[in-house]
């Protein structure tokens, strides 16, 4: 059974979380984090619940590459949240849940996931969006040429994926010969 707007409002109330219903399936809310106070929106559709924060800083043209790279690296570090670029070049951070039978703990998790990540990343995002000389703290540091290079020619630990296309004869990675077969 799909989650209803009445359930969303009840969940806000159960969590004692401030909100204003903007229209039938859209709520305005906010969070007073450790670093910032900000607003976000909750939207319920037939299939999804979206908790979305709109990045409020205009991105300078000469900063686009840096902020976009930073956002991709953010996506790599975040669980259950993503950063999107819409058709108007607005950045948003969002958590999406299938709207089928959302429970109050899942609703709270969605709210807190957006809040925690915005509080964690906003300042650096704002700086990267307006200062082209800044470099993301999420960008890997160059390897010291004097360090041990036994982890491979590139100095990488190989955690980014397996290059072994065989049936598990290489060291590390998934033994593809033991994974369950695909279902049709």
Mean pLDDT of the chain: 85
Q: What is the mean pLDDT of residues 87-105?
A: 94
**Is the predicted pLDDT of residue 24 greater than 70, yes or no?**
yes
In the chain, the percentage of residues whose pLDDT exceeds 70 is: 78
pLDDT digits 0-9 by tens, 63-72: 999 999 999 9
Q: What is the dihedral of CA 49, 19, 94, 70, to 10 degrees?
A: 180
**Is the predicted pLDDT of residue 46 greater than 50, yes or no?**
yes
Q: Which residues contact 135 (CB under 8 A, 6 or more apart)?
A: 66
Full set of structural domains in the chain with CATH = 5-130 (3.30.1460.10)
Handedness of CA 76, 81, 86, 91 (dihedral sign): negative
**Is the predicted pLDDT of residue 10 greater than 70, yes or no?**
yes
- The pLDDT of residue 118 is 95
pLDDT digits 0-9 by tens, 103-153: 999 999 999 999 999 999 999 999 999 999 999 999 998 886 665 544 444
């Amino acid at each position: 059974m799909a989650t209803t707007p009445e359930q969303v409002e009840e969940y806000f109330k159960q969590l004692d979380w401030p909100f204003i219903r903007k229209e039938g399936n859209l709520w305005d809310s906010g969070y007073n984090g450790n670093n910032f106070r900000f607003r976000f929106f909750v939207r319920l559709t037939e299939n999804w619940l979206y908790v979305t924060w709109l990045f409020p800083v205009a991105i300078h043209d000469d900063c686009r590459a840096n902020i976009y790279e930073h956002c991709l690296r953010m996506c790599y570090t975040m669980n259950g949240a993503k950063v999107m670029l819409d058709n108007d070049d607005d950045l948003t951070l969002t958590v999406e849940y299938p709207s089928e039978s959302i429970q109050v703990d899942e609703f709270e998790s969605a709210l807190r996931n957006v809040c925690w990540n915005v509080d964690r990343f906003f300042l650096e995002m704002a700086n990267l969006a307006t200062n082209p000389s800044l470099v993301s703290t999420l960008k890997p540091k160059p390897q010291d040429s004097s360090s041990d290079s036994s982890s491979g020619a590139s100095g990488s630990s190989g955690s980014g994926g397996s290059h072994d296309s065989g049936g598990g004869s290489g060291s590390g990675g998934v033994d593809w010969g033991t994974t369950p077969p695909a279902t049709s």
